[in-house]
């Protein structure tokens, strides 16, 4: 299992790659995620984070934002993703 660790404020956030929550019912989410990954590989992190957020991949958007040192925005997205997660995953 690959883990991603980010330092957000005083806390470390560690997220397993396989449990990233998707938010909402987006019919083209996978194609949007592929486009976001492509943008991310091209170095267009801001655009990738915005697209991840648009397709509901909030944890991926938070990961990208943390990488470009936008820790407050990253933390807000993680909190938002957590609030959308089902009670069974809490």
Note the pLDDT tens digit of each residue in 11-42.
555 554 444 544 444 455 578 899 999 999 99
Write the burial class of residue 52 (CB in 10 Å: 0-12 exposed, 13-18 middle, 19+ buried). Answer: buried
Query: Of residues 7 and 69, which shows the higher confidence score?
Result: 69
List Cβ neighbours of 55 (8 Å cut-off, separation of 6 or more). 26, 28, 29, 32, 33, 36
In this structure, the dihedral spanned by the alpha carbons of residues 85, 27, 29 and 52, taken in order and rounded to 10 degrees, is -70
**For the whole prediction, is pTM greater than 0.85?**
no
- Per-residue confidence (pLDDT) for residue 29, from 0 to 100: 59
Torsions phi, psi for 8 (to 5 deg): -120, 110
Instruction: Give strand ranges (E) for 1-90.
Output: 3-8, 11-16
pLDDT of res. 84? 76
The band of 62, judged by pLDDT with boundaries at 50, 70 and 90, is very high
């Amino acid at each position: 299992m690959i883990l991603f660790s980010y330092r957000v404020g005083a806390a470390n956030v560690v997220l397993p790659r396989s449990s990233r929550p998707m938010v909402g019912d987006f019919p083209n989410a996978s194609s949007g995620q592929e486009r976001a990954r492509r943008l991310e590989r091209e170095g267009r992190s801001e655009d990738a984070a915005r697209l991840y957020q648009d397709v509901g991949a909030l944890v991926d958007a938070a990961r990208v934002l943390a990488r470009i040192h936008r820790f407050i925005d990253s933390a807000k997205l993680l909190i938002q993703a957590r609030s959308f997660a089902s009670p069974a995953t809490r």
